[in-house]
């Protein structure tokens, strides 16, 4: 039996470490003590989730409910909890501090194991209907009554979605391998299983039952795959030198959907692997008509302006992602879904097939008005590729995607199987996606908005760190400044993200949650930014400006520090 106190002690230790190897070893020691029935839940806890994203299970507990539960448990008033929270900036730290000097003690307390805490979290998440909020507070209060101060810190952070351990998915996979084999030799097999199921808890559980189970993970409907990612190059010439003859597709500036079908059942998943089915009844109806019993494919959805016969902008297309007014949105912003890959068809895993073969299947299967093959052409010269690129831009699209004709579908990985070439913004070489990790107060003309700019970071897969790359002070409309201020105020923290390497300190730190697309003039060597730093010098974006918020993307998809370094050398 794994006690939650032991889990909390390990979490506390992880918070005080920053090196990926050290964190891997700490987790591996915990995993060695974990049983077959516990490992699934423990992995979810470390990821900061209650279940895989596509199951749509959310704790749904806000700060005010957590404050009430802390007050009820500790004997302090809500106002006293609030005052402590203002000082600490972390409601988990507040729970720990007030429970250490609690004014009242529960009559009956019991030692909690991991499964007990997980089951309580699940009850909180599925509680709905009349009186559900009171029930959620009651469940949390019961947990805190039984919790030690350090347990309370992580329970409160978890229910608020702010666990902040700084442990990424690669570190968890490494630790599972080290716990079983003593080294990372099993990492690749574990990662493949995770990439084709998007459920690390399930992967770990089946691996614990029998390590051979990992080899049995197959692509199957309603288990979304981690999306394949593209590398980037700066010119058509570089692409042809890298790939030779290749398939070139238009790069649509919409949102990515992964569509699953089995019989009449259809589910649609976002690139974050969240279920989006109910938002797109027109797409669901079109998928049902496809002559296949079992099917998984990917497409880029764009809203089409039938009057102007031109695609709406990304921001306008995003109006289709909504919880209310779906029928009107379907009429105002009719979708075209351009199918760019097929992964599974009537029992056959197509991810191991060549891209050229998958493309032939797409052309035969998709011929409707809503579902249609993405525009594609096989090219052998840089000149031809450049013509297609120019045509894409003239049609209001984002650029092109070049694909290796012989490549398999690489779920969850960024490889040169796909290479993107995007349009420039002004003198910009390209655009990059970064995660917001802080923001600044407004001064002068921006004082009234209380917002002056963003600090953003890239991801370094070698050390698992976020690394700052730009302080953005331009590209914001007044409405965007107001929107960003409201969004970021809700996720402010007193401390920087635990896995952030930084030198610049913003006025306010925030949880690394929101992804933004950023344009820039070029990339320079910097003494203040930590992106891909060597010898105390990193890389920075010169004259960065906001293009748009990418709420369709996850932190896993942001630009890597390696890409920034590659782009620096390419521009030279």
The CATH number linked to 442 is 2.40.50.140
Distance CA 27, CA 11 (A): 9
pLDDT tens digits, residue range 327-344?
766 666 778 899 999 999
Other beta carbons within 10 angstroms of residue 31's beta carbon come to 23
Better-predicted residue by pLDDT, 106 or 367: 367
Contact present, 422 and 431 (Cβ < 8 Å): yes
Same domain, 387 and 276: yes
Same domain, 333 and 416: yes
Contact present, 336 and 370 (Cβ < 8 Å): yes
Same domain, 439 and 414: no
Cα–Cα nearest to 435, from 422, 454, 452: 454
**Number of structural domains in the chain:** 3
Q: Percentage of residues in the chain with pLDDT exceeding 90? A: 62
Same domain, 372 and 442: no
Same domain, 316 and 291: yes
Token reading at 16: 């005080």
427 falls in which pLDDT band (50, 70, 90)?
A: very low
The residue written with tokens 């909180």 in the block is: 124
Distance CA 271, CA 299 (A): 10
Residue 56: which domain range? 4-159
Same domain, 270 and 413: yes
Does the residue 479 lie in any domain?
yes
Does the residue 236 lie in any domain?
yes
Same domain, 99 and 71: yes
Domain ends where: 122, 139, 159?
159
SS3 content of the chain, % helix, strand, coil (to 5): 40, 25, 35
What mean pLDDT is predicted for residues 531-544? 93
Same domain, 527 and 396: no
What mean pLDDT is predicted for residues 259-263? 97
30, with CB counted inside 10 A (0-12, 13-18, 19+), is buried
Same domain, 110 and 141: yes
Other beta carbons within 10 angstroms of residue 536's beta carbon come to 8
517 falls in which pLDDT band (50, 70, 90)?
A: very high
Same domain, 391 and 452: no
Beta strands in 306-398 (DSSP E): 310-311, 335-345, 348-349, 371-373, 376-379
For residue 4, what pLDDT is reported? Answer: 96
Distance CA 549, CA 479 (A): 13
Report which listed range, 9-23, 139-153, 484-498, is most confident.
139-153
For residue 331, what pLDDT is reported? Answer: 66
The CATH number linked to 69 is 1.10.3260.10
For residue 288, what pLDDT is reported? Answer: 96
Same domain, 258 and 393: yes
Q: Residue 131: is its pLDDT beyond 80?
A: no
Other beta carbons within 10 angstroms of residue 513's beta carbon come to 18
441, with CB counted inside 10 A (0-12, 13-18, 19+), is middle
What mean pLDDT is predicted for residues 251-261? 91
Does the residue 37 lie in any domain?
yes
Domain ends where: 375, 404, 422?
422
The CATH number linked to 246 is 3.30.470.30
Beta strands in 346-398 (DSSP E): 348-349, 371-373, 376-379
Does the residue 51 lie in any domain?
yes
Domain ends where: 393, 422, 451?
422
Buried b / exposed e along 213-238 (16+ C-beta atoms within 10 A): ebeebebbbebbbbbbbbbbbbebeb
pLDDT tens digits, residue range 289-308?
999 999 999 999 888 776 66
Host H or E run for residue 87: helix 78-88
Distance CA 572, CA 567 (A): 9
Does the residue 105 lie in any domain?
yes
pLDDT tens digits, residue range 66-101?
999 999 999 999 999 999 998 888 899 999 999 998
Same domain, 394 and 528: no
User: Which active-site residues does the annotation give?
Assistant: 251
Report which DSSP code applies to 456: E
Does the residue 480 lie in any domain?
yes
Does the residue 202 lie in any domain?
no
What's the mean pLDDT when you consider all of the chain? 89
Does the residue 471 lie in any domain?
yes
């Amino acid at each position: 039996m794994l006690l939650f106190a032991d889990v909390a002690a390990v979490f506390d230790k992880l918070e005080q470490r920053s090196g990926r190897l050290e964190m891997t070893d700490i987790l591996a020691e915990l995993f060695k003590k974990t049983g077959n029935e516990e490992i699934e839940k423990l992995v979810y806890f470390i990821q900061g989730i209650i279940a895989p994203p596509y199951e749509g299970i959310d704790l749904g507990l806000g700060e005010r409910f957590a404050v009430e539960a802390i007050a009820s448990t500790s004997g302090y008033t809500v106002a006293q909890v609030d005052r402590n929270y203002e000082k600490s900036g972390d409601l988990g730290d507040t729970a720990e501090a007030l429970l250490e000097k609690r004014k009242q003690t529960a009559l009956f307390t019991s030692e909690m194991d991991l499964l007990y805490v997980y089951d309580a979290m699940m009850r909180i998440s599925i509680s709905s209907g009349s009186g559900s909020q009171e029930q959620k507070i009651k469940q949390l209060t019961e947990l805190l009554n039984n919790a030690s101060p350090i347990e309370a810190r992580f329970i409160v952070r978890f229910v608020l979605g702010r666990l902040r351990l700084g442990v990424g998915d690669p570190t968890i996979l490494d630790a599972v391998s080290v716990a079983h084999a003593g080294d990372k030799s099993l990492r690749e097999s574990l990662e493949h299983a995770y990439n084709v199921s998007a459920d690390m808890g399930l992967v770990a559980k089946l691996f614990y039952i029998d390590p051979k189970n990992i080899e049995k993970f197959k692509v199957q409907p309603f288990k979304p795959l981690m999306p394949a990612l593209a590398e980037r190059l700066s010119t058509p010439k570089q692409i042809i030198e890298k790939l030779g003859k290749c398939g070139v597709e238009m790069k649509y500036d919409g949102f990515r959907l992964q569509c699953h079908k089995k019989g009449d059942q259809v589910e649609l998943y976002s690139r974050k692997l969240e279920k989006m089915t109910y938002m797109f009844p027109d797409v669901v109806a079109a998928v049902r008509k496809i002559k296949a019993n079992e099917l998984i494919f990917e497409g880029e959805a764009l809203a089409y302006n039938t009057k102007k016969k031109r695609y709406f902008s990304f921001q306008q297309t995003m109006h289709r992602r909504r919880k209310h007014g779906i029928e009107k949105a379907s009429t105002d912003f009719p979708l075209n879904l351009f199918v760019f890959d097929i992964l599974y068809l009537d029992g056959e895993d197509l991810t191991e097939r060549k891209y050229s073969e998958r493309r032939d299947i797409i052309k035969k299967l998709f011929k409707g008005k809503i579902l249609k093959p993405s525009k594609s052409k096989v090219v052998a010269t840089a000149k031809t590729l450049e013509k297609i690129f120019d045509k894409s831009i003239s049609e209001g699209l984002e650029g092109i995607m070049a694909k290796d004709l012989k490549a398999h579908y690489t779920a969850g990985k960024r490889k040169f199987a796909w290479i993107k070439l995007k349009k420039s913004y002004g003198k910009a070489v390209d655009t990059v996606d970064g995660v917001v990790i802080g923001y600044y107060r407004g001064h002068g003309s921006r004082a009234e908005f209380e917002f002056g700019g963003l600090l953003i970071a890239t991801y370094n897969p070698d050390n698992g760190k976020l690394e700052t790359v730009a302080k953005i002070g331009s590209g914001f409309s007044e409405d965007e400044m107001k929107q960003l201020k409201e969004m970021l105020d809700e996720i402010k923290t007193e401390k920087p993200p635990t896995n952030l390497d930084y030198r610049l300190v913003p006025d306010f730190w925030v949880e690394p949650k929101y992804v933004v697309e950023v344009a820039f003039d070029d990339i320079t060597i910097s003494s203040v930014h930590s992106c891909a730093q060597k010898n105390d010098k990193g890389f920075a974006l010169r004259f960065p400006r906001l293009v748009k918020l990418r709420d369709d993307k996850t932190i896993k998809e942001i630009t890597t520090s390696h890409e920034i370094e590659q782009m620096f050398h390419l521009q030279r």
